[in-house]
Amino acid sequence: MPLRHVTLHQLRIFTVLARHLNMTRAARELHQTPAALSIQIKQLAEYAGAPLYEQVGKKLFLTASGEAVERAGRDILRRLESLTQELDAHRNVERGLLRLAIITTAEYFAPRLVGAFCQEYPGIEVRLEIVNRDSILERLKQNLDDLYIMGQVPEGFQGTAYPFLDNPIVLIAPADHPLTQATAIAPERLAEESFILREEGSGTRMTAENFFRERGIQLRVRMTMSSNEAVKQLVAGGLGLSVLSRNTVAAEVAAGDVAILDVAGFPILRHWHVVHRRNKRLPAVAERFLSFLLRDRSLPQS
């Protein structure tokens, strides 16, 4: 029988026997009978093609072949042990690396959630990419991160998306705009206003466009900006109205720079999603962050 049939169990038994040089003591350590041990070692010797020990009275002596098998056995078992430790480290949530990419509009709340997660797991490392929609979709395609946070999930998306937070989309105006006094404003009334919208392809913009398109309303888009901050400044400066995620305007509304209008159909209720590729093997730390997001549904207070 060739040596490759040797089992780890036999090697383990033999290394214990080689340490004790006594069948009874080795059997005791292994919680087996001396007879059971002898059978395994006999088979190991057959695989090795040579006797592994000699018995003189009660005492055992390893043969040269036995010493060689014992050395190899110890190496193999040690290697297996270090492999176990290495794999444990990969599975270990406490020391893992979390690779996360979020859409820019999520930067108003997602870093705080990451911060709260890091406080629970101080040993982990986080690599957070904050990118626009095109980049996030490209990163997803290239499998560059473990998890993604975005608002609108692309149509026909082939992965898995979990809604985890509300993302109300609001209509904002300069604080001194006459419509701030009105209630239940008809969306049609807004066709007379100028708008500053996010860029084509932005999830926020798509939500606004769908809302007005479904009602047959054509908005007058005066400016297009790829930054929520720029949009808010222009609205505050009186250049027009806009539609943004409420998560992005909390500070300006509180400071009285812009106001949220009471338009019928608004806020448009959307969600933030945490997303991964289908069949993605998530590292333990990413699994844990995912359950953390799904558990912690309320926005941490700023």
Kindly state whether residue 103 participates in binding ligand PGA, applying the rule CB under 6 A: yes
Residue whose CB is less far from ligand PGA, 54 or 229: 229
Binding span for ligand PGA by CB under 6 A among 2-10, 66-74, 78-86, 145-153: 145-153
Kindly state whether residue 275 participates in binding ligand PGA, applying the rule CB under 6 A: no
The residue within the footprint of ligand PGA, chosen from 198, 232, 276, 288 (CB under 6 A), is 198
With helix as H, strand as E and coil as C, how does 91-112 read? Answer: HCHHHCEEEEEEEHHHHHCHHH
Kindly state whether residue 152 participates in binding ligand PGA, applying the rule CB under 6 A: yes
Kindly state whether residue 10 participates in binding ligand PGA, applying the rule CB under 6 A: no
Q: Give the nearest distance from C-beta 30 to ligand PGA in angstroms.
A: 60
Binding span for ligand PGA by CB under 6 A among 53-61, 81-89, 200-208, 278-286: 200-208
- Chain residue whose CB lies nearest ligand PGA: 203
**Integer CA distances (angstroms), 262 to 61, 75, 181, 215, 222, in order:** 92, 74, 9, 17, 22
- Going by C-alpha positions, the residue among 99, 101, 247 that lies closest to residue 169 is 247
Kindly state whether residue 204 participates in binding ligand PGA, applying the rule CB under 6 A: yes
Interacting residues of 98 by C-beta distance below 8 A, sequence separation 6+: 114, 117, 124, 125, 126, 127, 146, 147, 283, 285, 286, 289
Q: Residue 178 in 3-state DSSP?
A: helix
The residue within the footprint of ligand PGA, chosen from 62, 124, 133, 147 (CB under 6 A), is 133
Please compute, for residue 189, the number of CA atoms within 13 A of its CA located in the half-sphere on the CB side: 14
Q: Give the nearest distance from C-beta 151 to ligand PGA in angstroms.
A: 2
C-alpha span between 170 and 252 (Å, rounded): 13
Angle (CA) 199-202-203 rounded to 5° is 150
DSSP E strand boundaries for 51-158: 53-56, 59-62, 97-103, 125-131, 147-150
Kindly state whether residue 62 participates in binding ligand PGA, applying the rule CB under 6 A: no
Residue whose CB is less far from ligand PGA, 244 or 285: 244
Q: Which helix (H) or strand (E) element contains residue 44?
A: helix 34-48
Query: Binding-site residue total for ligand PGA (CB under 6 A)?
Result: 11
Binding span for ligand PGA by CB under 6 A among 123-131, 176-184, 202-210, 212-220: 202-210
Q: Residue 179 in 3-state DSSP?
A: helix
Residue whose CB is less far from ligand PGA, 202 or 242: 202
Residue whose CB is less far from ligand PGA, 40 or 152: 152
The residue within the footprint of ligand PGA, chosen from 10, 40, 104, 247 (CB under 6 A), is 104
Q: Give the nearest distance from C-beta 184 to ligand PGA in angstroms.
A: 26
Instruction: Provide Rg for the chain, Cα atoms.
Output: 33
Residue whose CB is less far from ligand PGA, 258 or 274: 274
Kindly state whether residue 150 participates in binding ligand PGA, applying the rule CB under 6 A: yes
Interacting residues of 167 by C-beta distance below 8 A, sequence separation 6+: 151, 245, 246, 247, 269, 270, 271, 272
The answer to whether 232 and 255 are in contact (CB under 8 A) is no
Q: Give the nearest distance from C-beta 133 to ligand PGA in angstroms.
A: 4
Residue whose CB is less far from ligand PGA, 22 or 132: 132
Positions touching ligand PGA (CB under 6 A) are 103-105, 133, 150-152, 198, 202-204
